[in-house]
Amino acid sequence: MSADECLIVDADVLIDFIKADRNIISIIIKHLAPVYVVRQVLKQVKAIESEEELTSLGVTVIDPEIEDLYTAAKTTSPTDFEDQLCYLTAKRHGFTCVTNDKDLRNCCIDDGVPSLRGLRLILRLCALQRISVAEAIKIAEQIHKNNPRYITKTILKNFIKALKQQKGSYGLPPDFYI
């Protein structure tokens, strides 16, 4: 990741990380990039009790621009209001949108907004030797256990395969689904 890159996470990724190992968020912030979340997304995250809980991990809560609120409310996109706010905020500020949501990812890709899936951040930490392969697998397995509908066995297997293949690099083909 570049030195000036910032990440904005959607509710699903935030929930996955919080439920699996909330400390991974602080490690991502320390070693990869600042992490932002749109205030309206917090309402979707029942796994946290307060905004302060997130800010104590280093996450910056951001209020969207009023124009983006209006645009998100009027959209006919298959993404929901909160995902539209993530997309619009990422676009406005040049953030990378971290999501596992197919519709949000497609929205970003179609408009040239950088996006990553959540497990790619774990791969990057492992490549930088900020967490061990064993820790990465443990976190991914817990995410799968908590969210098997979207982080499937196939995605988990691909993730473990990627960990073993990366050998100090996180340069994976773009079609490698994790």
User: Is residue 176 in a domain?
Assistant: no
Q: Are 140 and 117 in contact (CB under 8 A)?
A: no
* Domains in the chain, number: 1
User: Is residue 178 in a domain?
Assistant: no
Residue pLDDT, tens place only, 71-129: 999 988 889 999 999 999 999 999 999 999 999 999 999 999 999 999 999 999 999 99
User: Is residue 149 in a domain?
Assistant: yes
The tokens describing 19, both together, are: 């439920």
- Helix, strand, or coil here: 96? strand
- Bridging pattern class, strands 60-62 and 115-116: unpaired
Residue pLDDT, tens place only, 119-164: 999 999 999 999 999 999 999 999 999 999 999 999 999 999 999 8
Given this model, what pLDDT does residue 175 score? 44
Q: Is the pTM of this model over 0.75?
A: yes
Looking up residue 138, the CATH number of its domain turns out to be 3.40.50.1010
* pLDDT tops 60 at residue 174: no
18 is in which domain, residue-wise?
A: 1-170
User: Is residue 96 in a domain?
Assistant: yes
User: Is residue 4 in a domain?
Assistant: yes
User: Is residue 92 in a domain?
Assistant: yes
Q: Are 35 and 54 in contact (CB under 8 A)?
A: no
Number of H helices, E strands in the chain: 9, 5
User: Is residue 54 in a domain?
Assistant: yes
Q: How far is CA 170 from CA 12, 119, 127, 150, in A?
A: 23, 12, 6, 22
User: Is residue 175 in a domain?
Assistant: no
